Amino acid sequence: MTRRSTLRFAMRGLWRELRSGDALVLFGALAVAVASMTAVGFFTSRVAAGVAREATQVLAADLRLESASPIAARVLARARRDGLRVAQETSFPTALFHGDRSQLVAVNAVTPDYPLRGRVRIADVPYGPAIATTAIPARGTVWLDSRTAAVLGLRPGMSLRVGAIRLRFTRVLAFRPDQSVGLVSLAPALLMNAADLPATTLIQPGSRATYAALFAGPPAAVAAYRTALRAHPDPAVRIRDAAENSRELGSAVERASRFLNLASLSAVLLAAVGVAMSARRWASRRVDGVALMKCLGASQRFVLGVALAELAAIGALALIAGTLAGAIAESGIAWLLRSLVARELPAASVQPIAVAFATELAMLLGVALPPLIRLRRTPPLRVLRRDAAPPRLRHGVVPALALVALFAILWLMVRDSALVVDLAAGVVAVGAVLAAAGFVLVRVTRRFRGGVGVAWRYGLANVSRRGVASVLQVVAFGLGLMILLLLAVVRGDLMREWRASVGARAPNEFLINIRPQDVPALRRALAALGAADTPMFPVIRARITAIDSRPIASLHFAGARGRAFAEREQNLTWSADLMPDNRLVAGRWWTPADEGKPWVSISTEYRDALHLKLGDAISFDVAGEPLTVRVASIRQVRWDSFRPNFFLVFPPRLLDGAAGTEITSVYLDARERPGLAALAQRFPTVTVIDVDAILAQVRTIIDRASLAVQYVSLFTLAAGVIVLLAAVQATRDERRHESAILRTLGASRFTVLSGVAAEFVALGSLSGLLGAAGAAATGWWVAHRLFALRYAPDPRLWWFGILGGTVLVGVSGTLAARRVVGAPPAQSLRAEG
């Protein structure tokens, strides 16, 4: 037969194959895998494209210098001489007050010409239509974003206090190009004229301000200027350009999308199980037909060709249907995460379709093809002798192919070989644990058969008789339910445990930028609000220059944290006493006799990131003055005490004379908090940070993100349903025969159906139990190992798991098997013969 006639023959058979159910399950498994991959792929590609497109806009310039201290005037002058346009931007957090309301905002004080790239957009009223502008706020005015205006109850035209002065709110700030350095735009923003900045007195020595110089101009001039800057690098100044920014944002997107990818990966893996089961069944149902066709003269090539063409057609249909479903599901993810993604997203790329196609191909070749290849070797003798079957595939061929396919899928999704190895090990370990647990549960079920009625006995007997298939279904649903329970129930439990561990009266307000001369008055004011004996800590900013006389630039640190410690300015403090939430793990704390000695106490994080030990010499640049100290002790810090804490603590009197500010944290109950407004007006330089508000914001992000992951996990459940359907299909003939025998022996249709329902209810409750146990165990592990919390699972976890599994598996399994057991017994028995 020609290739064309093979194809025609295959296509004619395809419709019948799809109607037969086996091919439909195969189609469903492939479509679920494609849909889950494209849904996540489309979304992350849209975000990545959005980030890449706006990489220069995010800088608001072609080149940007950032530093914790003002950029030197000669650097700006040189740029102007080189023909570049220059703007400056000073950013820092501060609390705004209006009446009894307060809000922490990021202030951006800018010079004319800001932004050099992109446009600021403003509106006349909060949430009103925005227009682009080239202006910046006039002196004496500010532009404020809609959310802050709403929180503070401000309308355009009203004035508000910013530090020591009052400024008028004239326009609503809808967008500024450099408002978010990544996906997430957190802090509400205020834009003001840099000329007003000194009068606010908000910038003090040691303030946490970032100074940026923005440059734009012809590409050659920008490149020449960048080369000149890099020739004399200043470790205190960070140079950012579009390429670097794009890279950084790209990797941020990749990190952020990893959870979504992992969720979709679990769906793909389960779908692969569904593909394997349905392809096997599909192939086994074709054995008789193939034997007959070979008997009638069909060649092996024709047999294989027909099977391959049908498989390819099913794959193509699944790719189209899955991609469509993925595109629809993607809009769901984008909607769930809309408040986190600050920008309008561009259209998705087609790359996710290519990745999904490659995954599908890997699944088809690795999992679905082997049983079909085996089909080619069907002996024609089978038409005469039923026991003549195709030879078994050589040992290891199928698992090896499946394993190769699995690794290919993993790599395609995460593109990180090390992670693939870890993930594969994790998947195998979790799968093995779940399978072992499932096996035990299925075995235990057998013991309950004695004490139940005929329907239940029949159902439970089926669970244990179909051992492997039962374990597979329990694992498939258990995994999906585990992910959902982990995110929906355990996460909330952990959050509550953590809040409880922090304590009801943990500080909820941080006060920073306190001038030393204001300390006595501020202490009195805080005491009047009910926060007596508030400990204050001096804050001095310094940069590390050398470790054991080796310049810091010559040292290499692998971790991001090590590099950050080495490159950025650190906040230091001094203290006579060890803080109550610190514990010494090495060395000794200083005595009054040690005051003024060149020693330092470092935190365990600092030790680990910079590979330090007791006695090491660390050199600092403290406001231009060199200082070398030795590590005298190492502390473990409980950062979640919400008290000021430091990586570096010096003995008293060593840093006398260094200019700095003070920091403190207090607990104020709801009645006293309105008093903060008056306090902030009296001490305009002090920035009040509301911990509760920040935690609420972080929580919103976590809630949204985990909702998106839960949403993607629904694909895992869909894949679980596919595995269940595949299992039902695989046992269809057996079930038909058994129900015919039962009905012939006098069982009513209801009794037979009850038996089937019992089987799936048992499977569902076992998966729910397994999912809940898995979620509880993971929660316990996370609580103990990562957060050092006590964790006892909420009893609802078990109920949700068992009830959810029972309803989901019980209903879908019974519905799927209903038709099979409903057929008249005579028809079923005759079909057997």
Partner 1 sequence: MHPGSNGAPLALDAIGLTKTVDSPSGPLTILADVDLRVRAGETVAIVGPSGAGKSTLLALVAGLDTPTRGRVAIAGTDLGRLDEDGRAAVRGRQVGFVFQSFQLIPSLTALENVMLPLELAGDPNARAAATAALTEVGLSARLAHYPRQLSGGEQQRVAIARAFVGRPPLLFADEPTGNLDAATGRRIAQLLFELNRAAGSTLVLVTHDRELAARCDRIVELDAGRVVG
CB of 737 to partner 1, least distance (A): 15
Nearer to partner 1, 26 or 222 (CB): 26
CB of 736 to partner 1, least distance (A): 13
Nearer to partner 1, 383 or 502 (CB): 383
CB of 380 to partner 1, least distance (A): 5
Nearer to partner 1, 129 or 833 (CB): 833
Q: What is the DSSP track for 69-115? A: SPPPHHHHHHHHHTT-EEEEEEEEEEEEEETTEEEEEEEEEE-TT--
**Alpha-carbon span 574 to 603, nearest angstrom:** 14
> Out of 10, 13, 466, 808, which residue is the one contacting partner 1 (CB under 8 A)?
13
CA distances from 721 to 117, 216, 487 (A): 51, 56, 20
Q: Strand 599-603 vs strand 625-637: parallel, antiparallel, or unpaired?
A: parallel
CB of 325 to partner 1, least distance (A): 28
> Out of 385, 447, 499, 699, which residue is the one contacting partner 1 (CB under 8 A)?
385
Burial class for 828, CB neighbours closer than 10 Å (0-12, 13-18, 19+): buried
3-state secondary structure of 135: coil
**Which residues between 448 and 507 bind partner 1 (CB under 8 A)?**
none
CB of 300 to partner 1, least distance (A): 6
Sign of CA dihedral 687, 692, 694, 695: positive
**Alpha-carbon span 136 to 458, nearest angstrom:** 78
The secondary element (H helix, E strand) that includes residue 702 is helix 691-730
Nearer to partner 1, 703 or 733 (CB): 733
CA distances from 277 to 282, 336, 364 (A): 9, 34, 12
b/e 458-469 (16+ beta carbons within 10 angstroms → b)? bbbbbbbebeeb
The secondary element (H helix, E strand) that includes residue 212 is strand 210-216
Burial class for 231, CB neighbours closer than 10 Å (0-12, 13-18, 19+): exposed
Residue 20 as a binder of partner 1 (CB under 8 A): the answer is: yes
Residue 296 as a binder of partner 1 (CB under 8 A): the answer is: yes
Burial class for 557, CB neighbours closer than 10 Å (0-12, 13-18, 19+): middle
Residue 16 as a binder of partner 1 (CB under 8 A): the answer is: yes
Residue 295 as a binder of partner 1 (CB under 8 A): the answer is: yes
Nearer to partner 1, 231 or 296 (CB): 296
CB of 7 to partner 1, least distance (A): 13
> Out of 27, 169, 302, 590, which residue is the one contacting partner 1 (CB under 8 A)?
302
**Which residues between 808 and 827 bind partner 1 (CB under 8 A)?**
none
**Alpha-carbon span 570 to 621, nearest angstrom:** 10
Nearer to partner 1, 297 or 592 (CB): 297
Nearer to partner 1, 17 or 66 (CB): 17
Confirm if 540 and 573 have CB atoms less than 8 A apart. Answer: yes
**Alpha-carbon span 668 to 678, nearest angstrom:** 14
Asked if residue 507 has a cis previous peptide bond (ω within 30° of 0), the answer is no
CB of 292 to partner 1, least distance (A): 5
CB of 832 to partner 1, least distance (A): 12
Bridge partners of 808? none
**Which residues between 697 and 726 bind partner 1 (CB under 8 A)?**
none
Nearer to partner 1, 10 or 531 (CB): 10
Stretch that binds partner 1, among 50-58, 73-81, 285-293, 361-369 (CB under 8 A): 285-293
Confirm if 191 and 143 have CB atoms less than 8 A apart. Answer: yes
Confirm if 137 and 714 have CB atoms less than 8 A apart. Answer: no
> Out of 384, 400, 436, 500, which residue is the one contacting partner 1 (CB under 8 A)?
384
Residue 596 as a binder of partner 1 (CB under 8 A): the answer is: no
Task: Tell which phi-psi region holds residue 188, choosing left (phi > 0), alpha (psi between -120 and 50) or beta.
Answer: beta
* CA atoms within a 13 Å half-sphere pointing along the CA-CB vector of 490: 27
CB of 735 to partner 1, least distance (A): 18
> Out of 133, 134, 251, 300, which residue is the one contacting partner 1 (CB under 8 A)?
300
Residue 297 as a binder of partner 1 (CB under 8 A): the answer is: yes
> Out of 174, 298, 334, 479, which residue is the one contacting partner 1 (CB under 8 A)?
298
Task: Tell which phi-psi region holds residue 576, choosing left (phi > 0), alpha (psi between -120 and 50) or beta.
Answer: alpha
CB of 743 to partner 1, least distance (A): 19
**Alpha-carbon span 106 to 267, nearest angstrom:** 41
Nearer to partner 1, 16 or 699 (CB): 16
Stretch that binds partner 1, among 225-233, 298-306, 549-557, 627-635 (CB under 8 A): 298-306
* CA atoms within a 13 Å half-sphere pointing along the CA-CB vector of 430: 21
Nearer to partner 1, 23 or 728 (CB): 23
**Alpha-carbon span 172 to 139, nearest angstrom:** 16
Residue 651 token pair: 């003995």
Nearer to partner 1, 305 or 326 (CB): 305
Q: What angle do CA 445, 722, 467 make, to 5 degrees?
A: 25
CB of 387 to partner 1, least distance (A): 11
Residue 27 as a binder of partner 1 (CB under 8 A): the answer is: no
Residue 42 as a binder of partner 1 (CB under 8 A): the answer is: no
Name the nearest CA neighbour of 206 among 480, 635, 571, 653: 571
> Out of 158, 184, 292, 586, which residue is the one contacting partner 1 (CB under 8 A)?
292
Confirm if 666 and 505 have CB atoms less than 8 A apart. Answer: no
Q: What is the dihedral of CA 216, 219, 225, 228, to 10 degrees?
A: 150
> Out of 30, 197, 293, 546, which residue is the one contacting partner 1 (CB under 8 A)?
293
Nearer to partner 1, 165 or 295 (CB): 295
Nearer to partner 1, 233 or 824 (CB): 824
**Alpha-carbon span 633 to 604, nearest angstrom:** 10
Q: How many CB atoms lie within 10 A of CB 366?
A: 24
CB of 20 to partner 1, least distance (A): 6
Confirm if 46 and 348 have CB atoms less than 8 A apart. Answer: yes
Residue 831 as a binder of partner 1 (CB under 8 A): the answer is: yes
Residue 430 token pair: 């979790």
CB of 820 to partner 1, least distance (A): 15
> Out of 299, 331, 351, 748, which residue is the one contacting partner 1 (CB under 8 A)?
299
> Out of 294, 466, 491, 523, which residue is the one contacting partner 1 (CB under 8 A)?
294
Nearer to partner 1, 234 or 734 (CB): 734
Nearer to partner 1, 95 or 821 (CB): 821
CB of 294 to partner 1, least distance (A): 5
Residue 288 as a binder of partner 1 (CB under 8 A): the answer is: yes
3-state secondary structure of 184: coil
Nearer to partner 1, 328 or 381 (CB): 381
Nearer to partner 1, 304 or 727 (CB): 304
Please report, as a single letter, which amino acid is at residue 814: T
Nearer to partner 1, 22 or 738 (CB): 22
Residue 282 as a binder of partner 1 (CB under 8 A): the answer is: no
Residue 670 as a binder of partner 1 (CB under 8 A): the answer is: no
> Out of 380, 431, 598, 674, which residue is the one contacting partner 1 (CB under 8 A)?
380
CB of 36 to partner 1, least distance (A): 31
**Alpha-carbon span 635 to 646, nearest angstrom:** 10
* CA atoms within a 13 Å half-sphere pointing along the CA-CB vector of 742: 24
> Out of 301, 338, 496, 613, which residue is the one contacting partner 1 (CB under 8 A)?
301
Interaction site with partner 1 (CB under 8 A): 1-2, 5, 9, 13, 16-17, 20, 288-289, 292-302, 379-381, 383-385, 831
